[in-house]
Structure 1
């Protein structure tokens, strides 16, 4: 096994750990957030962490389908964040 492959394995492991810790911290903020703005920000951060986890999983397994899944997660995450913010601001989503 070459040095580059070992380095990639270590980097992917550290990245998985950092993203998982960030996901847990975002979940705590989503539950305990004192304001609704904190909860919207935590939801958006959770989407970004999930996106990062899917991308790193695709890199570690060498499968390109995960990158298409990451694109879908990014689009759905954006729409859900906008919908939640609009609901908090106006009380309904569809005008």
Structure 2
């Protein structure tokens, strides 16, 4: 379905989905950890579905380390980071 050309005003007024993805992970961690998020470091293991560079950086700012696989086809992933496969 074509909804017409998007303008800058449309992008500014669009709402952010806080129910899924990185926002949901951060929201749930804040609930689970409660006010103790400033205690010494925590680690979270994530699967490929929830992984993103933005999530990892946001959690690092909260002193929460991320362990898991990051999908290379995500929007935030820089193609220059990928290692080239070496031929024999």
TM-score by length of 2: 0.25
Q: When you count helix as a share of all residues, which structure comes out higher?
A: 1
Q: When you count strand as a share of all residues, which structure comes out higher?
A: 2
TM-score by length of 1: 0.24
